[in-house]
Structure 1
């Protein structure tokens, strides 16, 4: 059992999606996240253990490498694809309640901003670390976040922006969320954002990279 989970973590870390996938070259011809997840379930490994002891350690290692500039966006996307392929097999167990996710994270790019690579990386990393992710997409007004909070009580919010011109949207949205739901935690990030800006607008945390969001969630929810 442990051997399968160790292999699964490696598949996620190095982006080995399935046996047919040529990437990474050093794992060519080997089973990938798809096959190993099915083997683990068929062997009786609980879905919770597959998530917690296979997928999450792999995604955590990717997140740390990305923070340290040891891997770059294409490798992270391959890892996220491997993780998503495995999650397809696990989602029925979450739906049935047999396996539990840690909490809910709602993320979107703020109104006026159509950039989504950073948002997508955060969403993938957070999901890979055991959270349910509600992705609102891009160009999201405050109303969209407020509606999602009503549907997902207790969720943490992530606001992303790439343009300096949309930082005013981030400020407005944070204020409206805090007015309507004072207890809701708001995380902000993106190229023009820093911790001084986070303090100015009243958000709870600034994360410079996806792993920072995961670490914040783990301290507040897990």
Structure 2
């Protein structure tokens, strides 16, 4: 599969090039969702390089900043293009982790695919997930982390949902740099999502959306 110049620019951490390419695409009338998918592809490149040890945490954070800055002009069109909501996702970075870029990407992509997102932010207390589910009636819970040291916090957050009698009512999706299927099994999540698009696919499957 050919990598687009925009995806490559994000993957290579070329901020100015990425911002300019997005502006050019919008000026030519390209759809915001299509441009967003290219930005996602660039972040996938970054993720792969991180896993391979070519990039480190600083590059990951910088890439997220590029994604936010380049993607900022897309927000209005994405919002207007997705008036309907198929379901609700409560989303947050778990307790003791303050990294938000993976979560922010998921929030953007989910929202652009018709899923309402309740973003709890970072360093989210376990009970906050419970409270948000009760208040919103959400059937999806997304938990993110970038630190292996918070896997137990993620597990405890899932357990808190269970203790509150909500576990059977929600589907838990997890993701983040160090997360894999073994992590999902350990914390008791329903889905491991390597990318934001994986999250969309899982969410739509759960919600019965084609």
- TM > 0.5 between the two? yes
Structure 2 unmatched ranges of 5 or more:
112-116, 205-210
User: Does 1:126 pair with 2:106?
Assistant: yes
Over the residues paired in the alignment, what is the CA RMSD in angstroms?
Answer: 3.9
Map 1:46-195; keep pairs closer than 5 Å.
46-52=31-37, 54-97=38-81, 104=89, 106-110=91-95, 113=96, 115-117=97-99, 120-124=100-104, 126=106, 130-132=109-111, 134-142=119-127, 144-149=128-133, 150-151=135-136, 153-158=138-143, 160=145, 162-163=149-150, 166=153, 169-176=156-163, 179-180=165-166, 182-188=168-174
Check 1:71–1:152 CA distance in 2 against 1; reply closer, same or farther (3 A cut): farther
Check 1:91–1:99 CA distance in 2 against 1; reply closer, same or farther (3 A cut): farther
- Once residues 110 and 82 of structure 2 are traced to their aligned partners in structure 1, the CA distance between those partners, rounded to angstroms, is 15
Equivalent residues, number: 193
- Is the CA contact (8 Å cut-off) linking 1:33 and 1:82 kept in structure 2? yes
Structure of greater Rg: 1
- Is the CA contact (8 Å cut-off) linking 1:109 and 1:159 kept in structure 2? yes
Structure 1 unmatched ranges of 5 or more:
19-31
- Once residues 6 and 187 of structure 2 are traced to their aligned partners in structure 1, the CA distance between those partners, rounded to angstroms, is 41
Q: Give the structure 2 partner of residue 9 of structure 1.
A: 7
Name the TM-score, length of structure 1 as normaliser.
Answer: 0.66
Q: Give the structure 2 partner of residue 39 of structure 1.
A: 24
Q: What SS class does the counterpart of residue 123 from structure 2 fall into?
A: strand
* CA positional deviation for 1:156: 3.4
- Once residues 137 and 58 of structure 1 are traced to their aligned partners in structure 2, the CA distance between those partners, rounded to angstroms, is 24
